[in-house]
Structure 1
Amino acid sequence: MTVFGCAGCDAVLSGQLAQVALPVHVHQKWGNGLLPVLMEPGTYAVDLEPSGPPWLSWSEIGADEAAARGVFAPARALSFGPPGAIVIAPGDARGTVLIPDRCGGCCCGLDGRDGPNLACAQCGQPVATRIDDCSLWQAVWFAPNAVRALPDNQPTGRTTGWDWQKWQSVPPVAPDGRWSPRWAAAVRAGLAHLLAASEGTPVALPNGPITDTFGHALDALLPAGTPTKTVTLAGPGLPTREFTGRILLVPQHPQTRERWLASTTAKTVPMPADAWKQLASSGEPLLLPVTGGLPDGVQRDDPLPRYPWEPLRPDWGVFLHTLARIPAVREPWLRRIYDRVKDHPYARPF
């Protein structure tokens, strides 16, 4: 476990936290209402990309320098601030106070536009940014150079095994019938990797949840024709099969972000563990009428399973952010897709 303290005075600024992978929806903007807390209580994640000012435009940076920083397609601007911002749940913050003149926001709360808006209550140094405005995931971001890990004798809480049965799956549909923003972000990031793995040729999808998830977007973005590759779900707990000529949808470890079967020569498409588990276990059990108590394994028919009230549309922001960081986007066919979505973000299938 890790406890973060102020780099200036060593005051404790967090509870005990276990490190997990950075959520794929970390920078997502969704809808116009309040979103839940980004991080599970008792966890933290590190963003390895630079954050904060100074910001430079693409024309100032140039393609070669941007590629050296891991960005391979034009973006409006890139941060040249320090990497390593640490994100936690607001409820896990300790010993901080708001900085009144840095509490700007767009509508319903704080969006961090004025820089760090939380100070260490002991020494007064700015240490973090609270985010809770509408359309943004609620979080506290520790500035990379403002905090440090304090000595802690508790176990780290990190595991590297593939005990997938203990993973939580993300429900695709929210209680109000809208698509879950977490599900939407996971699918959009996966779509970017799936396009790159297709190499611009049609792909065959298995009937069922994978087609329901990716089929509409791939039909719109890839040319029609005879598929040359088949998309297959692969991962722990699934039968091992011949992977030649297949694109594998594989899970990323929820704590280490390692891809399952990372050593394979087959093309792999990473999916967050919670989204991968949903695809791997999304078959609906048969609803059987019974009398008396419900035996184990029988699902109630009330309430009915949730179904969305509109088609799934890829989140173009997450899609572009992910695609820009895949080297294959420099290939002409994929760059055309990137530019098309960037210039017309609400056209089909977005």
Structure 2
Amino acid sequence: MFACAGCGTELTAPVSRITLPVHTHHGGWEELHPALMEPAAYAVDPRPTGPPWRSWEEVGEELAARQDVYAPAYFVSFGARNRIVIAPGDSRSMALIPEKCEGYCRGVDGRAGPNLACEGCGRAVATRVDDCGSWQTVWLEPEAVVRCPSGLPAVPPPGWDDLERAEHRVPPVEPDGSWSRRWEAAVGVALAHLVVATGGSPVTLPDGPVAELLGHAVALYLPVGPGGRSVGLAGPGTGTPRPRPDVLLVPRHPLTGAAWRPPGDDGAVVPLDSGIWAYFVHPGETSPMPATGVLPPGVLRDDYPLPSFPWYPLTPHEWAFEHTLIGLPAVRSLRMRGYGNQGA
């Protein structure tokens, strides 16, 4: 758990660390979102986030690179690194600071800095974000809190085998028929890595779900067609296609964030949100009909409803793509400049 660095008041429930979700900063505009984090979990963002912000023209390329921004962006964050994010339900003993509760239209967005104070000493310790377009979060300031043991037994960390659990898969379509916001963000992040891995070259996608779901999104940023660099799907339990494609789409570990790699393989890989990767590899039941035979006498047929299909193809979250790309050092090469000059 985390406690106030000033007075020791416990500020969170017991939490265990997982990797920062790739969709953390990327939501749907003017939509209310659920909590980003699962209960009893926390993650750390290594990049500077939040205010104060400075323009690219004011900062310059060298100073921006120190802030992990390697291509022109509208604004560069000079906020704290290693801010800690938890689910709002895991926060304890904190009160809103009324004069810091600015937002866009439906809540607070943290634009004025920390807006939660420790109830023990009044010190500003965290930022509550719940405005439209943002996932519900509480961000603990790294200099204002300290870690302390909860006294509870450690929970076994998730492993690669957990990716096969049905509840780990993230469907691409929401119940209302729209594309999953998590998918839109995750695809944007993966595409930034794919652009770097291929150097902007044409690509060839594998037949099946990858081409069906990602073909439109990839074509927005890379030429797609015969003769391009081959892309394939690989990961734990599935092995590696033979011959090995030029680039492998692999899962990010749900605990460490490390990209899966085949043993002894140092070829190009593109990390993908493990929940999205798991859906590609283990889509689950696709038909309610029995493979053979007929229903027993007297049993009425009860088909599942047809799955929802959005009326437009899956489009990556533009800010997720740009935010990820400008944070990759390879974007500084002249060959990659054209992908990083739109601003963020």
User: Secondary structure at the residue paired with 1:232?
Assistant: strand
- 2:157 is matched with 159
Amino acid at match of 1:35: H
With the length of structure 1 as denominator, give the TM-score of the two structures: 0.88
Amino acid at match of 1:320: E
- 2:315 is matched with 313
User: Secondary structure at the residue paired with 2:54?
Assistant: strand
Alignment map for 1:273-312 (pairs within 5 Å): 273-282=274-283, 285-288=286-289, 291=295, 301-312=303-314
User: Secondary structure at the residue paired with 1:174?
Assistant: coil
Q: 1:267 to 1:338 in 2, by over 3 A?
A: same
* CA deviation vs aligned residue, 1:248-282 (integer Å, no higher than 9, x gap): 00001001101101762211000111111011123
User: Secondary structure at the residue paired with 1:221?
Assistant: coil
The question of whether the paired residues in 2 share the 8 Å contact of 1:35 and 1:134 is answered with: yes
Amino acid at match of 2:338: R
1:265 maps to 2:266: yes
Percentage of pairs with the same residue:
47
CA distance in 2, matches of 1:283, 1:205: 22
The question of whether the paired residues in 2 share the 8 Å contact of 1:24 and 1:186 is answered with: yes
Give the root-mean-square deviation of aligned CA atoms: 2.4
1:227 maps to 2:227: yes
Amino acid at match of 1:247: V
CA distance in 1, matches of 2:269, 2:223: 21
The question of whether the paired residues in 1 share the 8 Å contact of 2:214 and 2:314 is answered with: no
1:101 maps to 2:105: no
Q: 1:273 to 1:325 in 2, by over 3 A?
A: same
Amino acid at match of 1:119: A
The question of whether the paired residues in 2 share the 8 Å contact of 1:187 and 1:213 is answered with: no
Q: 1:52 to 1:305 in 2, by over 3 A?
A: closer
**Residue from 323, 326, 333 that aligns with 2:325:** 323
Q: 1:158 to 1:46 in 2, by over 3 A?
A: farther
The question of whether the paired residues in 1 share the 8 Å contact of 2:72 and 2:340 is answered with: no
Q: 1:258 to 1:124 in 2, by over 3 A?
A: same
- 1:42 is matched with 40
Alignment map for 1:133-172 (pairs within 5 Å): 133-157=131-155, 159=157, 161-163=159-161, 164-166=163-165, 168-172=168-172
* CA deviation vs aligned residue, 1:76-106 (integer Å, no higher than 9, x gap): 2222233111111111101111112222111
User: Secondary structure at the residue paired with 1:184?
Assistant: helix
User: Secondary structure at the residue paired with 2:47?
Assistant: strand
Amino acid at match of 1:313: T
Amino acid at match of 1:277: A
The question of whether the paired residues in 2 share the 8 Å contact of 1:243 and 1:266 is answered with: no
User: Secondary structure at the residue paired with 2:169?
Assistant: coil
- 2:203 is matched with 203
Count residues in correspondence: 335
The question of whether the paired residues in 2 share the 8 Å contact of 1:191 and 1:214 is answered with: no
CA distance in 1, matches of 2:188, 2:66: 24
With the length of structure 2 as denominator, give the TM-score of the two structures: 0.90
Q: 1:158 to 1:255 in 2, by over 3 A?
A: farther
Farther off after superposition, 280-289 or 258-267: 280-289
The question of whether the paired residues in 2 share the 8 Å contact of 1:233 and 1:250 is answered with: yes
Q: Show structure 2 runs of 5+ residues with no match.
A: none
Farther off after superposition, 267-276 or 302-311: 302-311
Give 1:168 shift. 0.6
**Residue from 73, 76, 83 that aligns with 2:74:** 76
CA distance in 1, matches of 2:27, 2:158: 31
CA distance in 2, matches of 1:151, 1:218: 45
Give 1:292 shift. 5.5
Alignment map for 1:21-36 (pairs within 5 Å): 21-36=19-34
The question of whether the paired residues in 2 share the 8 Å contact of 1:201 and 1:222 is answered with: yes
Give 1:338 shift. 3.1
- 1:252 is matched with 252
